Chain A
């Protein structure tokens, strides 16, 4: 999967240097597998009362994660997102946002 993502990123040309983009996406994928997949799922379409994040661009995901990290309530699952976003650095958020936007189009 990582190879496919790298190729997609390179083809899209949406990131600076190809190598840097691959590293970001791989780190984002790893973080997604730890923090996000349990509720948003393997394809980002959400499940139960957890919303879909498929089709969202990186700017949207970044904005939301920073809002949650700042303890701003956005929707009924905010408490859970506060807890998860609390540990994310700016770099983590950038990686996650890139991975989600690139993978779950």
Chain B
């Protein structure tokens, strides 16, 4: 038994068409919303206790409430899904664009916004085509544009393609990119675009999965949503499972009611580790997150539960690495990613990521030195002082302070492997 909210149309091959959407309750949530006051919708979202599904997990209702004091000008949807091993928004964008558009429209009405942008990473060519086609259908259906469904409310949606940059998932960088500039994150404060957003105007930025939950919340009520899950983690959540599991994929599970072990081992979810091997480490919440180990497998999939254990639920991705894997190689590859994707504004991140990557490269390829281990940690400490979690920040955005996670995790728990690379030029794993 499982509750599906955002993947309810999964059984249908034509889930992305307006015919299928309309045959399965599509735009009914919007019609109901248009008969409510904007405040009443905000109250339902508050009651649902919907946490943002992008990575930071900030309550969507609270984000919106900042806007209610300060009339919103723009709504921007973040579909720049690029956190490594995260592919749940990809699923929602390609498979259910009408649910996304309906969610955008409900949010736009609740915030009284007249123009919304759906920013989708450029690498999703099919997703961009599907959302544009769905938007054209929605305009023809009277759901978007002037006086939608005869409600007197008017709103336009624009689909905006990105052009390939991880950093644009950071909301202020995304806004810069949407303004036609390089994706440089903006200096904080202000911490929220609700104060100064797109073109300097008050703006709300919400994740694709976050708004995709809105049609269900309006149709069924915030209380029904809050009845799912436990504590602060309500509703369901999409988990993108990959790596050494038999069945990788996007799974919608009720928050908190399942553990990492359930996700990895349950026959209808991950189906177990490949080759009957055991788990060596898992990366919860994206490569920015500190790693978990077998002793963490019974932690529930809830935002606070994972945070208390020293990591984050983040973007909802889970990468499984089995006992045959080399942790030096894993740390090197993740660091190489950050090094390639650093936007270059801040010295600790720009210089640090490349330096760390070169050290890990030589460790992985047999040229490492014993002092490299301390040097790695010292450099990490320069980017995120104290190597605490959540990290201290020396940079404009959190990309930099995310770099140490995998290195610190690797050296702390698999020091022997790093030493083997120094002394023997490699380890017995992965070869």
Q: Do A and B come from one complex?
A: no
Chain A interface residues (CB < 8 Å from chain B): none
